[in-house]
Amino acid sequence: MKGSDCRMEKELVKVGIFICNRYHTCAGGKCLRALRNREGAFSIYEGKDVELVGYTTCDGCPGGNIEYAPAEMKKNGAAVIHLATGMIVGYPPCPRIDFFRRFIRENFDLPVVVGTHPIPEKYYRIHTALGTWNSPLWQELIAPTLATPEIRLAYN
């Protein structure tokens, strides 16, 4: 058997990302870096190939694009939707993020991960001081993007 015949192909996961419209000019550098390095919420794809098939904003409050854009991402093969870390670290964090997560799962039958890149340390410090994420729901929402202090500093 030739060597190439023995290689196992990695699983390919296609993802779509929604960012907060507040950051509509964001070039996506931290999200793409985390995707490439499998850090933050993208750590769940360790050992897998990932293809980004959609990147858009929520369209601003109250999130009109959440109603339509997941369908396009799904047509492009998205198997999972990520709600960007900016939605949880903004001042204030997105008040509709849990609704978006539930709506996309129910309406488009797509799993939703809250977060992309690790929470930068500067945001972690201020939200901790403010008590922003003290509730059980917020603890669940930020869990995929928590990282070591060293990694959080690298994303400042």
Counting the structural domains of the chain, the total is 1
Residue 113 resides in a domain:
yes
pLDDT of residue 7: 59
CA distance 39 to 5: 31
Q: What span, in angstroms and rounded, lies between the C-alpha atoms of 128 and 155? A: 17
Q: Which DSSP symbol is given to 101?
A: H
Amino acid (one-letter) located at 36: R
* Cβ partners under 8 Å of residue 46, min gap 6: 38
The predicted structure's pLDDT at residue 9: 75
For residue 112, give its domain range.
11-154
Q: Is residue 108 part of a domain?
A: yes
Residue 59 is given by DSSP the state -
In a domain, 18, yes or no: yes
Q: Chain-centre distance of CA 43, in angstroms?
A: 11
Ranges of residues in the chain with a pLDDT under 70 are 1-8
CATH code where residue 15 lies = 3.40.50
Residue 39 lies in a domain: yes
Whole-angstrom distance, CA of residue 71 vs CA of residue 154: 34
Is 2 a domain residue? no
Tokens representing 136 are 């059980």
Is the whole-model pTM more than 0.85? Answer: yes
Q: How far is CA 58 from CA 55, 83, 125, 146, 152, in A?
A: 10, 9, 26, 23, 25
Cα separations in angstroms, 29 against 103, 117, 127, 137: 27, 9, 22, 28
Cα atoms in the Cβ-side hemisphere of radius 13 Å centred on 129: 7
